[in-house]
Structure 1
Amino acid sequence: MMDLVDVWPVFGTRLFTPRLELRVARDEDIPGLADAGIRGIHDAERMPFAHPWTDEPPETLRREMARYLWRERAAVAPGTWMLNFAVLDDGVPIGIQDLRAVDFTPLRTVSTGSWLTRSRQGAGLGTEMRAAVLAFAFDHLGAEVAESAAIDWNEASLSVSRKLGYCENGVKRVTARPGTVEREVLLRLEPGDFMRPDWELRVEGVEAARAALVA
């Protein structure tokens, strides 16, 4: 009898770092991810995300997180996709690391975004989880460029990018909250500039993932 991975192959994609497991988020991960977000990610005074989803009350945040993950999952297709990896520490969801692409076959370009529950910040886990998806994209999917971005005051995110070898690639103006204009720093990384960690990424389900994502 088939299991869920046979029906939706990307569910078999799992990345392992020294401290973390990253797996494409399943329904059973959603309650834990919602709780991790509700426990807090950033100071309330400033919004680091392009969409202010953390401003929502807990009951709305839970519902909207589920809708968001379901919507992005349903849109996955060869060449254009968003993978939301649940970041697990000892089996407990502590954040999300995403990896996305549009028209991947000719462009070979991916971009990333992430969040980590506040109690687990400051221990290098943000760097570890982004390094995992970069190694996956460059080494297993054939990406040639990785892009990212952060509001100019978000030193934690910018520090992760610098550690991993990104270079600045311009700025743009964004409205993270209605009526609030921010300056977003754009970042770019190529495989030759990737500052690889001193550990080897272990990957499961890569063949099925490649078939589902690379046109």
Structure 2
Amino acid sequence: MDPITLVTERLLLRPAEPGDIDAVLAACQDPGIQRWLPVPSPYEREHAEEYVLKIIPAGWREDRQYDLVLTDLESGALVGSAGVGRAAGPEERVRSVGFWTAPGHRGQGYAGEAVAALARWAFTELGADRLEWLAQVGNEGSRSVARKAGFTMEGVLRSRLIHRGVRRDAWVASLLPSDLGLAPQVPYGARATYPARTAG
């Protein structure tokens, strides 16, 4: 698939360019990014070059991971990155969403704005019927973004992620086309109901 661009109220979501390498390198020095995301540590220039010049283009070319950088419409500053990837087989129409925000640009709603735009694109252009967000338990910033983008928290997946060689529990949340007033590609069946759990 050819890379796309999306424009929101404050952001341009676009393919990464060689000129983004320095900004990606600077952002990924952040202890918060290294604490929660599977980026190399220490994060060297070669890692930023590989991400911008190889990993992102390969994801688009192979039609499996659609990452974009987030830039401020007014200043052009790189404020983060966000993407949608495959979370299951193509017939299941389940995609995952991930994102990071550069230090100095957090708490301004950029990630939520980007995720909302990517979600609508994933439902209308990729044919997704479910978007999933996963993050290590404790990553409150990421959870806040997911909630603001309309995701419904579903629970904890025990030992779901491996980070720095250690298994970690993960929060999971989902967003459906119907949450945005869109029709699903595959019709919904009856929703399950579960009895309340009791101690005992």
Q: TM-score range by the shorter chain?
A: 0.7 to 0.9
Aligned to 1:211: none
Identity of aligned residues (%): 23
1:172 aligns with 2:158: yes
Larger helix share, 1 or 2: 1
Whether the aligned pair in 2 keeps the contact of 1:85 and 1:96 (CA below 8 Å) is yes
CA displacement, residues 21-52 of structure 1 (integer Å, 9 cap, x when unaligned): 112x25xx2431x3223223542696211x23
Distance in 2 (alpha carbons) for counterparts of 1:31 and 1:59: 13
Distance in 1 (CA, whole Å) between partners of 2:113 and 2:72 is: 12
Which aligned runs of 4 or more in structure 1 are off by greater than 6 angstroms?
none
- AA matched with 1:19: R
Structure 1's unaligned 5+ residue stretches are 1-8, 197-215
Distance 1:44 1:154 in 2: 9
Structure 2 residue identity aligned to 1:108: R
1:134 maps to 119
183-192 vs 119-128, greater mean Cα deviation: 183-192
Q: Secondary structure, in 3 states, of the residue corresponding to 2:157? A: strand
CA distance in 1, matches of 2:12, 2:101: 14
Q: 1:98 aligns with which of 80, 83, 88?
A: 83
What one-letter code is carried by the residue in structure 2 that aligns with 1:157? Answer: S
1:60 positional shift: 2.7
| Counterpart position of 2:72 | 89
1:37 equivalent in alignment to 2:24: yes
TM-score of the aligned structures, taking structure 1 as reference length = 0.71
Which residue number corresponds to residue 36 of structure 2? 48
Matches of residues 38-77 of structure 1 in structure 2 within 5 Å?
38-41=25-28, 42-43=30-31, 47-49=35-37, 51-53=38-40, 55-65=41-51, 66-76=53-63
Distance 1:45 1:131 in 2: 21
Residue by residue, what CA displacement relative to the aligned partner does 1:105-160 show, whole Å, maximum 9, x if unpaired? x2122111111211111101010010010111123333211111011111011111
C-alpha contact 2:56 2:66 (8 A) present in aligned 1: no
**Alignment TM-score, normalising by the size of structure 2:** 0.75
Give the residue type in structure 2 aligned to 1:48.
W
Q: What pairs with 1:118-157 in structure 2 (closer than 5 Å)?
A: 118-157=103-142
CA contact (8 A) 1:48 1:151 kept: yes
RCO greater where, 1 or 2, for CA within 8 Å and sep 6 or more? Answer: 1
